Amino acid sequence: MRIYLETMGCQMNRLDSELLTGVLRAAGHEMVADPRQAEVLLYNTCSVRQHAEDKVHSRLGPDLRRKADSHRPILVGVLGCMAQRLGSLLPARYTGLDLVAGPGQLAHIPAMIAQAAAGKPAFALDGADCAEDFDAIDLARDASFAPQRSQAFVRITRGCNKRCAYCVVPAVRGPEVSRRPEHIVEEVRRLIDAGRSQITLLGQTVNSYRWAEAGRTVRFSDLLAMVSGVPGLRRLRFVTSHPIDFGDDVLAAMRDLPNVCPYIHLPAQSGSDAVLKRMDRRYTRSQYDELVDRCRRIVPGVVLAGDFIVGFPGETDADQAASAELIRHSAYKNCFVFKYSPREGTAAAQMPDDVSPTVKRQRNHELLAVQREVGLAHHAGYVGRELEVLTEGPSRRVDKQARLPQPGRMQLVGRTVGDHIVVFDGPIDLAGQYVRVRITGATSLTLFGQRCDD
Ligand code: SF4
């Protein structure tokens, strides 16, 4: 059948969709980019923010109307976190919905499509036994299927054992389960053999990875050492880390293993002890500051990125000032700032959402302005240096194309080991290759440069 799959949400969802695409193709289905040509419409959904769920709701109404009016059969399905969170509420609200599947059910989607095509709606939510399933779908991955030519994501854990007050992830993705290290190494080996040179290990709290079996314990730092030894692996990254799981062993591994990139995405969420406590983040401001200093001391040239939530219940102007101060102290390369919105079923949803939308917006702008200053100073420090860049492809800023003299050349974009975005001119066939770029300019988010051998 012709299948249209749309992905909302985080990197974990995008990896789920990549794995599911492989499963569907192996089952003989054809993936199409235009929903109007599809016989099956699937939405792989996110529940973390209301905005993502609203987007799915806005798709389902028109899709189901089209299905009712169409002379040919169309199947419509919701997969992932939103399907798991809302469960039977979805078919109750949307008559004609054919498929609802939790994030641990991806291996069963071909069978569920077959069942729905035979006229019997298929519903499967995750239970306690889906850990095995999720490892199976990762292991069965088609390494030759590559949305990105030179890089791939590899899941090492599923779910989360933290209970941050604002977050729905533990409820929808379940408790944390680590994959067997040998399975991870084998998957990385197959991806490298199929042409990738950069691997990003993925987990909700990736650095809390732990595999224990028959007296043997493999910590995250041990896993980094095992994976980094795969021949041909040029860059090893990982996201996302939780501050309380950062032991010196991980930092020492980052320092000592030459292909582990010196980049850490380290969400802080707030710079105020009072807010961190209400968020149940399990660290204080001074512990976070100490961790940042320790990262810089142990891993030379480490690059940090942050996450913040503004307008959490009870947040005051003084709390906001503490967050701004933390951004300055951490000297992040970049930082994501989100406006708080309550999510049903979380502890924070029981607290009064007492910061007005106007103040949330104002605080969002304020923190982004501070980050722009900090980010500009960070990026300006690279001007004049020569950096290795993995070329990703054409830059989204195509405005310069017309001014480029030679045919076949365009504005390209790539990343450094520190995850800096670098824009430079060159032929399109550099995509997927490593080049040396001399940095000539910087903004708060981007470096600009010239290829050294150009
Ligand atoms: S660490 Fe906190 S924010 Fe991250 S997934 Fe777990 S509960 Fe959610």
95 C-alpha to ligand 1 centroid (Å): 33
Residue in 176, 205, 245 to alter for ligand 1 test, most ligand atoms within 8 A of Cβ: 205
Residue in 155, 161, 167 to alter for ligand 1 test, most ligand atoms within 8 A of Cβ: 167
408: CATH: 2.40.50
Pair (245, 394) in one structural domain: no
Instruction: Point out the domain boundary residue: 92, 124, 156.
Output: 124
Instruction: Point out the domain boundary residue: 90, 107, 124.
Output: 124
209: CATH: 3.80.30.20
What is the predicted pLDDT for the residue at 401? 45
pLDDT truncated to tens, each residue of the chain (454 aa)?
999 999 988 888 889 999 999 899 999 999 999 999 999 999 998 888 778 888 899 999 999 988 888 877 899 999 998 898 898 899 999 999 999 999 888 889 999 999 999 999 999 988 765 555 668 888 888 888 777 789 999 999 999 999 999 999 888 888 999 999 999 999 999 999 999 999 999 999 999 999 999 999 999 999 999 999 999 999 999 999 999 999 999 999 999 999 999 999 999 999 999 999 999 999 999 999 999 999 999 999 999 999 999 999 999 999 999 999 999 999 999 999 999 999 988 999 999 999 999 999 999 999 999 999 999 999 999 999 999 999 999 987 644 544 555 666 789 999 999 999 999 999 989 999 999 999 999 999 999 999 998 7
Pair (61, 145) in one structural domain: no
26 C-alpha to ligand 1 centroid (Å): 33
97 C-alpha to ligand 1 centroid (Å): 30
- Shortest-distance Cα residue to atom 4 of ligand 1: 204
- How far is 221 from 300, CA to CA, in rounded Å? 17
Q: What residues does 263 pair with on adjacent strands? A: 303
> Which residue segment(s) compose the domain that 14 sits in?
2-124
Pair (95, 175) in one structural domain: no
Pair (144, 92) in one structural domain: no
Pair (312, 175) in one structural domain: yes
Pair (332, 241) in one structural domain: yes
Ligand 1 atom closest to the CA of 242, numbered from 1? 1
What is the predicted pLDDT for the residue at 406? 63
Pair (334, 426) in one structural domain: no
- Long-range CB contacts (< 8 A, 24+ apart) of 84-87? 84/47, 84/125, 84/126, 84/172, 84/173, 85/47, 85/168, 85/171, 85/172, 85/345, 87/125
Ligand 1 atom closest to the CA of 173, numbered from 1? 5
Give the CB-side neighbour count of residue 191, counting CA atoms within 13 A.
33
Instruction: Point out the domain boundary residue: 315, 346, 378.
Output: 378
Pair (90, 111) in one structural domain: yes
For 98-162, list the strands marked E by DSSP: 99-101, 122-124, 151-155, 157-158
362 C-alpha to ligand 1 centroid (Å): 25
- Shortest-distance Cα residue to atom 8 of ligand 1: 167
Ligand 1 binding pocket (C-beta < 6 A) is 160, 162-164, 167, 169-170, 204-205, 242
241 C-alpha to ligand 1 centroid (Å): 10
What is the predicted pLDDT for the residue at 413? 96
Q: How many residues does the chain have?
A: 454
- Shortest-distance Cα residue to atom 1 of ligand 1: 162
Ligand 1 atom closest to the CA of 160, numbered from 1? 6
Pair (329, 214) in one structural domain: yes
Pair (42, 183) in one structural domain: no
Number of domains in the chain: 3
159 C-alpha to ligand 1 centroid (Å): 9
Pair (51, 188) in one structural domain: no
- How far is 439 from 451, CA to CA, in rounded Å? 9
CA 180-184-186 angle, 5° bins:
115
Pair (370, 436) in one structural domain: no
